[in-house]
A and B are shown apart, each in its own frame.
Chain A
């Protein structure tokens, strides 16, 4: 079956530091890949997505590149802010069949001033 593996958190960074959150996946076919963000007490919001190999998703300074050869979709940001503190989820949807989503376990990011 499909699976998504994220690096364990929590991750604590100082403001303006470089962020990487690793995500690797196992899937049949050619999945679409997503990063979602969840702020405390809220639902998840889409941060970025990529639907085919070598695509780069980007939004609000965050980027992730769909790497089929390494089955990875690592999230990066060059300079984090306190407001980026949240939980980040990597996810995939398989290209075939029904629209069931496989989520990673989430990585909590805390940015300190």
Chain B
């Protein structure tokens, strides 16, 4: 089955450590996205990528970094510069072939202790 996967589901890190969240899709989508969601809040865009080897900052990119070396993969690194990294992180992908509908992964809940 085609889909988008994120791992791990839950992640715990000590303050000051960098951590990388995985996102993989086998939908052959060109575009991929990372969102942050805080309790009771909407989605905020961190980074997005429309093609391999290219990505753009979203609304809250500070303290985060990404790479897009393969079409299928769009990992997000939460660096120690991110002041309040504890949140629920959602990855998504889309294609113009399906009206730019976003397909979401199950999310990773990051807790920084």
A contact residues vs B (CB 8 Å cutoff): 32, 34, 36, 41-46, 49, 51, 89, 91, 93, 98-101, 103-106, 108
Contacts and interface: CB of A to CB of B under 8 A. Distances in A.
B42 interface: yes
Interface residues of B, number: 24
Interface stretch (B12-20, B66-74, B77-85, B95-103): B95-103
Contact of B90 (A44, A49, A106): A44
Q: Which 5 A-B pairs have the closest CB atoms?
A: A43-B104, A105-B42, A93-B100, A44-B104, A99-B31
B34 interface: no
A contact face: mostly helix, strand, loop, or mixed: strand
Contacts of B104: 36, 43-45
Nearest to B58: A100
B94 interface: yes
